[in-house]
């Protein structure tokens, strides 16, 4: 942290009674004063020695760290409940502060923070004339005029959808919620969802007759008319194959997933088609199951899973088709049916 950044933070915290504590201590020690996690980075060169009574949440505010970054440098810290007095915590290293990866599943609001972690105990009424409701998270802009009480289980996507703003706006107006990754929202606390002079960015009305399902990822185009609910383990390639579009179209219609598709969230909807557009290839109406034998006709509509002990004749009788047709549709079986494989699919209807 630069001297200028520290002075700015010092001024911000003065109203909280924290600045006087900071003025009496060396928070940016280059050596630990107390016991510390043995697994801190070998090149750790900045320490917080917790002998001042300052809460974990306030330390994160001062250092501009997220709880995930604090954990990456002090592995025993899983949450602020692991913070303890008379202990040294690594808050910086020569190799830099680790970046946080994008989550596969969007984080939800945490439970109420520990007592003492709020930034103020009295309602604020800044010069804009709008009283800020209590409690509120640190990092809220001072020209906020619309607020939302975070519910347990909320995500930034659901809050953005409910309030008509974008995740980017939420992160800008609430600087301590963990950025666009939204890893630090607190349940039962107010966050800012509108500012003086601003307005919600609700998309303009379109001729799109299909309502958008919820939840969706940030960055979806507003003329989407086909959607896909992402399942755990899916990739852009598998979704593109299922829906008959290209990966390039998916990333164009869903900016939030990133160009390399690393930001996709399970349990959220993606856009797989737009008004005025059409898939590059329509998804098959009756996809061919797997596995199959080589040579099966490509216009098959009906399939049979071959069991051990079955042969071409019994299968043909079962479906009321001619044996000759069965052989023609499944040439790998051979004219005498010696090549039919068990536990594969055979064609039994066009």
Other residues' Cβ atoms within 10 Å of the Cβ of residue 193: 21
- The span from the CA of 284 to the CA of 301, in Å, is 11
- The span from the CA of 193 to the CA of 166, in Å, is 9
Provide the pLDDT for residue 103: 38
Q: Which residues lie closer than 8 Å to 236 by C-beta, 6 or more apart?
A: 247, 250, 251, 257, 261, 264
- The span from the CA of 316 to the CA of 34, in Å, is 80
Provide the pLDDT for residue 222: 84
Torsion of CA 23, 27, 33, 37, to 10 degrees: 150
Provide the pLDDT for residue 170: 87
Provide the pLDDT for residue 331: 92
Provide the pLDDT for residue 268: 82
Going from the first residue of the chain to its last (350 residues), give the mean pLDDT of each consecutive group of 10, the final group possibly shorter: 40 41 52 90 89 82 80 84 90 76 45 45 47 81 86 80 84 82 79 75 46 78 86 82 86 83 80 71 61 88 89 91 92 89 90
All domains in the chain, ordered by first residue: 3-93 (no CATH), 101-202 (no CATH), 207-283 (no CATH), 302-349 (3.10.350.10)
Question: Which of 263, 94, 116 lies closest to 180, judged by CA?
Answer: 263
- The span from the CA of 349 to the CA of 238, in Å, is 27
- 184 by Cβ neighbours in 10 Å (0-12 / 13-18 / 19+) ranks as buried
- The span from the CA of 84 to the CA of 258, in Å, is 38
Provide the pLDDT for residue 168: 82
Provide the pLDDT for residue 342: 86
- 287 by Cβ neighbours in 10 Å (0-12 / 13-18 / 19+) ranks as exposed
Q: Which helix (H) or strand (E) holds 270?
A: strand 269-274
Q: Where are the alpha helices (DSSP H) in the chain?
A: 3-14, 19-23, 56-63, 67-73, 156-163, 167-173, 236-243, 247-253, 312-319, 323-329
Provide the pLDDT for residue 37: 92
Cβ 103 vs Cβ 66: under 8 Å: no
């Amino acid at each position: 942290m630069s001297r200028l950044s520290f002075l700015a933070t010092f001024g911000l915290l003065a109203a909280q009674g924290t600045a006087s504590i900071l003025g009496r201590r060396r928070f940016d020690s280059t050596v630990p004063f107390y016991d510390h996690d043995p697994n801190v980075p070998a090149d750790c060169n900045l320490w917080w020695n917790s002998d001042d009574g300052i809460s974990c949440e306030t330390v994160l505010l001062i250092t501009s760290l997220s709880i995930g970054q604090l954990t990456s440098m002090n592995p025993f810290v899983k949450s602020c409940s692991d913070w303890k007095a008379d202990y040294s915590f690594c808050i910086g290293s020569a190799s830099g502060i680790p970046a946080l990866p994008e989550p596969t599943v969007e984080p939800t609001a945490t439970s109420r923070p520990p007592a003492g972690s709020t930034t103020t105990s009295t309602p604020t009424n800044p010069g804009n004339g709008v009283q800020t409701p209590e409690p509120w998270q640190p990092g809220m802009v001072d020209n906020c005029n619309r607020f939302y009480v975070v519910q347990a289980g909320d995500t930034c996507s659901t809050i953005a959808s409910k309030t008509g703003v974008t995740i980017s706006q939420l992160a800008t107006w609430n600087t301590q919620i963990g950025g666009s990754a939204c890893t630090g929202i607190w349940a039962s606390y107010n966050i800012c969802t509108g500012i003086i002079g601003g307005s919600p960015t609700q998309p303009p009305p379109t001729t799109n007759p299909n309502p958008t399902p919820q939840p969706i990822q940030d960055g979806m185009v507003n003329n989407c008319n086909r959607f896909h609910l992402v399942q755990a383990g899916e990739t852009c390639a598998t979704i593109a194959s299922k829906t008959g579009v290209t990966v390039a179209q998916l990333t164009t219609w869903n900016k939030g997933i990133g160009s390399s598709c690393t930001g996709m969230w399970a349990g959220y909807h993606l856009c797989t088609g737009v008004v005025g557009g059409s898939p590059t290839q329509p998804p098959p109406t009756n996809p061919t199951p797997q596995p199959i034998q080589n040579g099966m006709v490509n216009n098959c509509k009906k399939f049979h899973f071959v069991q051990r002990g079955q042969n071409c004749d019994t299968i043909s009788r079962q479906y009321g088709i001619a044996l000759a047709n069965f052989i023609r549709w499944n040439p790998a079986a051979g004219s005498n049916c010696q090549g039919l494989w068990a536990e594969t699919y055979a064609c039994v209807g066009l």
